[in-house]
Structure 1
């Protein structure tokens, strides 16, 4: 079993509440728009960190982290891509990417809207954790926590971090 905290759209912001929610997991996935790569150093050190860049990330971030990341955990094929649209209206080329990579889970950010939906057409779980940062139009800062066991996502929950701007 692998415990995961899924975050996105930090826009250079990290606080103790986020760090606390990421302290009891095996992996932290950041789905882009880091804002300042230095904030990643505040995350727990004893976890696997999987990070992609988003549209606001600078060249320093892009030299370290990719725009797309694909990996498998317990037989589950996962892809991280910052801008993906949402089912059934994906961004250009995303449906083809899901099919080409054989993704069973597509993780994205960008919209600042927390959404989890199974796309039965592509047989792929779409996951967007919303935004943990203070910048954007979202009202409530959110992240997702879940476990992967036996090739399945289980015990999925949305963690609300409070209102943006507080």
Structure 2
């Protein structure tokens, strides 16, 4: 009998919707086991729509100033088995909101620039880009974080916006 491959968790990453949740973003995030929103949500109905796909964890962005957004933290730490993810809106505020312990992945938005980078310390940094209104000539995108036996990996999904 052959042992089954360990299941890979699929974590949908989205940021900077600014009140606009595109159908293409919803399609790209379908099949996620969990969704992380890295702030600048813009409308609480976006979190409800994402929650129809998978459980959602979100942080408040600098533009999330309405009363509904005040219940969201500026940063949060999430555990997925032995893996720890630190979620915040702006990577430049990491010093103000440092992870309370070791992390393997840091997810941040704010710049609207999609990026995946494994730093020298081994921590995977992911910015899913902006899934909301297009800013300048930057792509409209989300990201997928894959959690498997060989460690976390990520991919950017550009939306046909």
Give the Cα separation in 2 of the matches to 1:11 and 1:45: 19
Partner of 1:137: 136
Q: Offset at 1:59?
A: 3.6
Do the aligned residues in 1 keep the contact of 2:86 with 2:105 (CA within 8 Å)?
yes
- Larger % of strand: which? 1
Q: Offset at 1:92?
A: 6.3
Query: Which residue, 24, 48, 53 being the options, matches 2:60?
Result: 53
Partner of 1:114: 114
Give the Cα separation in 1 of the matches to 2:125 and 2:116: 6
Q: Offset at 1:20?
A: 1.3
Do the aligned residues in 2 keep the contact of 1:77 with 1:102 (CA within 8 Å)?
yes
Secondary structure of residue in 1 paired with 2:46: helix
- Cα deviations by residue, 1:31-56 (Å, 9 ceiling, x for unpaired): 01001112222225251101111000
Give the Cα separation in 1 of the matches to 2:94 and 2:29: 32
Do the aligned residues in 2 keep the contact of 1:113 with 1:138 (CA within 8 Å)?
no
User: Structure 1 stretch 129-138 or stretch 74-83: which is displaced more?
Assistant: 129-138
Partner of 1:153: 152
Alignment: residue pair count? 154
Query: Which residue, 4, 10, 33 being the options, matches 1:3?
Result: 10
